[in-house]
Structures are given as structure tokens and as C-alpha cells.
Copies of this chain bind each other. A is one copy, B any other.
Amino acid sequence: MAGRAAEPEVIWARPERTGRGPRPAYTRADIAAAAVRIADAEGLDAVSMRRVAAELGCGTMSLYNYVPRKEDLYELMVDAAGGEHELWEPGGDWRADMLRVAHQSRALMHRHPWLPRLMSPVYGFSPNALRYLEHCLACLDPLPAPYGTKLELIAMLNGIVTTYVTNELATAERTRSLPWSQEQENAMRIAYLGGRIATGEYPRMAAAFAQDAGPIDLEAVFERALGRMLDGFEPRR
């Protein structure tokens, strides 16, 4: 994290092929597809340079001819997933179009649960990220606002989608991976929280848990969050 100095270039700036020497055995798309296949099937932690090389059928170190650092492999993966975004002709209702964008991003992240973890550097300017950004701007054409505001809207939307899907995935993961049932998990959680609450130090949390104990509809929560966020950009305020 600290002492890297040699090659700070972003991978999209270097050409995939220079024309000299033997032609490469694999394309970036091949490599990204292999990594995505592994991550989808076995989780992001299973994506190692050795494992991807094995999946491709080449030596481990050969991979470094295509991908100078592992971080760049991640960038390839994010770009490949971004390529699955379906881009349509905007219909003139920016709110509806942005909601559709958000739901599609959410579906994409549920299909590739490793995606949110790799999205922290927000803007990598990969080819598909540029296409996505341009499409969002096209959806926002009907909104009377400067481009700066539109970019802020897009950033905020992406942030909310990432945040909420991360939460959804963590919840699902907990539910699935534990050897107990969902009820046992909830019972244990309530027992622990109940013990803390019983101290009387947290009267409002006690009231909150007494008020609604039913299971929460995460999709509805997501929908409400989106709506509230988009409200903040309505021009007639």
C-alpha cells in the first residue's frame, strides 16, 4: 500500500497488443471471463493468480504478461461485469430511467456478489464504465440541471446501490452460511440484544425493537432509499 513506484499506469492506458513478437495466447476478455467464472462459483477469495492461470491453462507467471498487478485483474473483472449492463434508449422520464438503472445495477450485483467489494475505487474509467456513465447522462437529459449536478446524482445513486446491496448480501450470507436455522439465529441475536437492552442504557433501542419485530423487506427499504434520494434532485423545489 505504501511503497509502489515502478508502474502506476492504469491498465486501460496500455494497449492490449503491440504487434511485435509472438501473438498472445489469450485476450483480456478471456482472462476476465475466467476470473469472473471462478469468483461466481467459489467466491472472490478463490480468485488468485495461480487459480486464474490454471483455469486458463497457462503457467502462473505468464498471467503477469497480461496483468501487471492483481489489482488490474480486479479491474478487468469489474469491467467485464459492467459489460452486462443493458443500455436502452432513454424514454424521457429521468426518474423512471434512473430507477431502472438502479434496479439493473442491483440485479447485476446479486448475480456477481463479489462486485460491490471491488467497486470502492468508484471510478476506474474502464471502457464499460464510460459506456455506463454516458448512458446515465443520456437518461438525465430531461433533467434541467448542470452536468456537475447530474454527475453528483449518478455518484450518489451508485453509492446507495452499492451500500444497500452490500448489506443485502451480508444478510443473505449470514442466513445461508450458519449451521443453525434463521429462527435460531434471530433468537440468539434477540437474546444478546435483549441482554444489552435490559440494562436500561438503551431505552430508544428497546422501544424500536418493541415497536416492530417483524422481518424487514429489504427490497422495499432499497426502493424507499432510492425514492428519497431522487426527491432531493427534483427541480421544482
Contacts and interface: CB of A to CB of B under 8 A. Distances in A.
A59 interface: no
Contact of A130 (B1, B177, B202, B227): B202
A69 interface: no
Nearest to A233: B228
Identify whether the interface residues of A are mostly helix, strand, loop, or mixed. helix
Given A179-B8, A232-B228, A196 B2 contact: no
A150 B205 CA distance: 11
Most chain B Cβ neighbours within 10 Å, of A133, A138, A150, A232: A232
B159 A208 contact: no
A137 B2 contact: no
A207 B133 CA distance: 13
Contact of A192 (B12, B42, B179): B12
Contacts of A196: 125, 127, 130
Contacts of A4: 177
A172 interface: no
Contacts of A164: 159
A204 interface: yes
8 contacts: A5-B179, A130-B201, A131-B201, A146-B212, A147-B208, A148-B208, A150-B208, A160-B163
